[in-house]
Amino acid sequence: MNTKNNKPLVFMITGVARAGKDTFAACLMEYMARGDSRCEVFRFADVLKDRANDVLRSMGVFKAGERDFHCEEFKVKNRAFLVELGRTLRGIDKDIFARHLNASVHSFFDYAPLGVRPVALVCDWRYLNEYTFLSSHIDAQFVTVEIQRPGFGPANEEEEWSLKDMMSSMQIQHTRSAIDPTGVKAIASELAHYYRL
């Protein structure tokens, strides 16, 4: 089956926390560099982290790389704030993060060099409406992937519910399981080859 076409490509990557989504995206990006594609990683949560950092700045406590929601250690320690802010914003407008990511992906696609296939790797897909919004606003080939890691389950009820919602929708095209980064790299190689990247 020839799965390559001339449209830009969007990988929507989902899975529970610590399943290997970021590792998968990094490995897939490595394979992209070998072909005629230009690849960039996108995260729905980036705009949320930016707005949370705006709160820290407005209160005079932000410190880049230390008291900074883009810093992994600080993010983990203060995750409850991010979760509550995200939940509040999604309660006001369920597509708020999808709209922001849509604008970023469109800009990336618009400025891709001629003759190069742009590939967006969205590595924190959590809600079905995010896929629905992006696929209706971006003219691209969409590939949906769930990364599983044995022994790791949903971090909370909301994550469990959102994954069940996506699975029941039949929108996930590829479900792969890996126990370590080597296994994740093999999955990236398989899918890159499948899509002839």
Q: Residue 2 pLDDT more than 60?
A: no
Res 5 pLDDT > 70: no
Domains of the chain: 9-194 (3.40.50.300)
CA distance 185 to 56: 37
Q: What are phi and psi of 72, to 5 degrees?
A: -55, -45
Question: Is the model's pLDDT at 196 over the cut of 70?
Answer: no
CA 188, CA 194: separation in Å to the nearest integer? 10
Percent of the residues in the chain that have a pLDDT greater than 90, as a whole number: 51
Q: If you average pLDDT over residues 86-99, what whole number do you get?
A: 94
Task: Please state, in angstroms and as integers, the Cα–Cα distance from residue 84 to each residue in 35, 51, 57, 121, following that order.
Answer: 41, 13, 18, 26
Q: Identify the residue with better confidence: 162 or 87.
A: 87
DSSP single-letter state for residue 67: B
170 Cβ contact partners less than 8 Å away, ≥ 6 residues apart:
none
* CA separation for the pair 86, 35 (Å, rounded): 36
Tokens representing 22 are 């970021």
